[in-house]
Structure 1
Amino acid sequence: MNKPSPAVLLAASFAFIIVQLDVTIVNVALPEIGRELGASVSALQWVVDAYTLGFAVFLLSAGVLGDRFGARWVFLAGFALFTLASLACAMAPGALALNLARAVQGVGAALLVPSSLAILNAAYAHDRAQLAKAIAWWTAAGGVSIAAGPVLGGLLMSFAGWRSIFWVNIPICVLGFWLTLRVVPALRGKDPARSFDVVGQALAVIALTAFIGAVIEFNALGIGSALVQGALLVALAAAVLFVRSQRRSAAPMLPLGLFHDVGFSGAVLFGVLVNFAYYGVIFVLSFYLQKVRGFSVMHAGLVFLPLTGTFIFSNIASGRMQARLGSRTPMIVGGLIGASGYALLGILGVANDSTFLEMLPGLALIPAGMGLAVPAMTTSILSAVDRNQAGTASAVLNTARQVGGAMGVAIFGAMHDIRLALAISTALLLLGALLAWRCIKHPLPSKGASLCRT
Structure 2
Amino acid sequence: MRRNEGLCLALVAESKDKTMQQTSLNVRHMPDECAASDQQTSGLAATLTLAAMSLGYGVVQLDVTIVNTALNAIGASLGGGVAELQWVVSAYTIAFAAFILTAGALGDRIGAKRIFMAGFAIFTAASVACAVAPDAATLIAARCVQGLAAAILVPNSLALLRHAYEDEKARGRAVGVWAAGASLALTAGPFVGGGLIALVGWRAIFLVNLPIGLAGLWLAWRFAGETTRHQQHRLDLPGQVAAIAALGTLAGALIEGGALGWGSPFVIAGFVLAAVFSVLFVWREARAPQPMLPLSLFRHPMFALTSLVGLLVNVAFYGLIFVLSLYFQQVNGLSAFATGLAFVPMLGAVLPANLIAPHVAERIGAPATIALGAALSAAGCLALLFIGPGTRYLAICLQLLAISGGLGLLVPPLTSALLGSAGQQHAGIAAGVLNATRQTGSVLGVALFGSMVSRSAAFIAGLHAALVISAGVLLAAAALIWIGAWSRARR
Letter in 1 for 2:96: F
Tell me the equivalent position of 1:248: 287
How far, CA to CA, are the matches of 1:309 and 1:96 in structure 2? 36
For normalisation by structure 1, the TM-score amounts to 0.91
2:450 is equivalent to residue 413 of structure 1: yes
* Partner-residue secondary structure (3-state), 2:199: helix
2:172 is equivalent to residue 172 of structure 1: no
How far, CA to CA, are the matches of 1:360 and 1:93 in structure 2? 37
Letter in 2 for 1:414: S
Tell me the equivalent position of 1:394: 431
Q: How much does 1:176 deviate? A: 2.1
Deviations 1:289-329 (A, max 9, x none): 01110111111101112234412222233322221221232
Tell me the equivalent position of 1:236: 275
* Partner-residue secondary structure (3-state), 2:308: helix
Q: State which of 182, 191, 202 in structure 1 corresponds to 2:230.
A: 191
Which is further off, 36-45 or 250-259?
Answer: 250-259
2:482 is equivalent to residue 445 of structure 1: no
2:90 is equivalent to residue 46 of structure 1: no
* Partner-residue secondary structure (3-state), 1:92: coil
Q: How much does 1:188 deviate? A: 6.0
* Partner-residue secondary structure (3-state), 2:489: coil
Letter in 1 for 2:202: W
Q: Mapping of 1:16-415 within 5 angstroms?
A: 16-125=57-166, 130-184=170-224, 187=226, 189-347=228-386, 350-386=387-423, 388-415=425-452
Which is further off, 160-169 or 140-149?
Answer: 140-149
Letter in 1 for 2:261: G
How far, CA to CA, are the matches of 1:256 and 1:275 in structure 2? 22
Tell me the equivalent position of 1:452: none
2:469 is equivalent to residue 430 of structure 1: no
How far, CA to CA, are the matches of 1:51 and 1:437 in structure 2? 32
How far, CA to CA, are the matches of 2:215 and 2:188 in structure 1? 19
Letter in 1 for 2:433: V
Which is further off, 114-123 or 71-80?
Answer: 114-123
Which is further off, 393-402 or 157-166?
Answer: 393-402
Letter in 2 for 1:445: A
Distance 1:188 1:437, change over 3 A: closer
Distance 1:208 1:162, change over 3 A: same
Distance 1:75 1:301, change over 3 A: same
- Say if 1:310 and 1:367, in contact at 8 Å, map to a contact too: yes
* Partner-residue secondary structure (3-state), 1:291: helix
How far, CA to CA, are the matches of 1:265 and 1:228 in structure 2? 30
How far, CA to CA, are the matches of 1:213 and 1:15 in structure 2? 28
Q: How much does 1:361 deviate? A: 1.3
Q: How much does 1:372 deviate? A: 2.2
Bigger proportion of residues as helix: 2
Deviations 1:243-262 (A, max 9, x none): 11101011111111233344
Gaps spanning 5+ residues in structure 2: where?
1-37, 454-461
Q: How much does 1:441 deviate? A: 3.8
- Say if 1:315 and 1:372, in contact at 8 Å, map to a contact too: yes
How far, CA to CA, are the matches of 1:266 and 1:188 in structure 2? 27
Distance 1:129 1:432, change over 3 A: closer
RMSD, aligned CA: 2.1
Deviations 1:159-201 (A, max 9, x none): 111111001111211232233334445x365212311111100
* Partner-residue secondary structure (3-state), 1:352: coil
Distance 1:382 1:133, change over 3 A: closer
Which is further off, 32-41 or 261-270?
Answer: 261-270
Q: How much does 1:439 deviate? A: 2.0
Q: How much does 1:10 deviate? A: 2.6
How far, CA to CA, are the matches of 2:302 and 2:170 in structure 1? 29
* Partner-residue secondary structure (3-state), 1:295: coil
How far, CA to CA, are the matches of 1:422 and 1:299 in structure 2? 22
Q: Percent identity?
A: 43
Q: How much does 1:101 deviate? A: 0.7
Distance 1:130 1:271, change over 3 A: closer
Q: How much does 1:83 deviate? A: 1.4
Gaps spanning 5+ residues in structure 1: where?
448-454
Tell me the equivalent position of 2:25: none
Distance 1:12 1:432, change over 3 A: closer
Q: How much does 1:79 deviate? A: 1.4
- Say if 2:160 and 2:227, in contact at 8 Å, map to a contact too: no
Distance 1:210 1:183, change over 3 A: same
- Say if 2:98 and 2:244, in contact at 8 Å, map to a contact too: yes
Q: How much does 1:431 deviate? A: 1.8
Distance 1:332 1:140, change over 3 A: closer
How far, CA to CA, are the matches of 1:73 and 1:153 in structure 2? 31
Distance 1:265 1:69, change over 3 A: closer
How far, CA to CA, are the matches of 1:272 and 1:48 in structure 2? 17
Highest Rg: 1 or 2?
2
Q: How much does 1:418 deviate? A: 1.2
* Partner-residue secondary structure (3-state), 1:440: helix
For normalisation by structure 2, the TM-score amounts to 0.85
How far, CA to CA, are the matches of 2:113 and 2:476 in structure 1? 40
- Say if 1:71 and 1:116, in contact at 8 Å, map to a contact too: yes
- Say if 1:72 and 1:115, in contact at 8 Å, map to a contact too: yes
- Say if 1:263 and 1:441, in contact at 8 Å, map to a contact too: no
How far, CA to CA, are the matches of 1:131 and 1:377 in structure 2? 13
Tell me the equivalent position of 1:15: 56
Q: How much does 1:133 deviate? A: 4.1
* Partner-residue secondary structure (3-state), 1:346: coil
How far, CA to CA, are the matches of 2:468 and 2:164 in structure 1? 45
Distance 1:137 1:211, change over 3 A: same
Tell me the equivalent position of 2:35: none
Tell me the equivalent position of 1:451: none
Which is further off, 196-205 or 334-343?
Answer: 334-343
Letter in 2 for 1:196: L
Report the number of matched residues. Answer: 442
How far, CA to CA, are the matches of 1:401 and 1:322 in structure 2? 21
How far, CA to CA, are the matches of 1:392 and 1:65 in structure 2? 9
Distance 1:261 1:363, change over 3 A: same
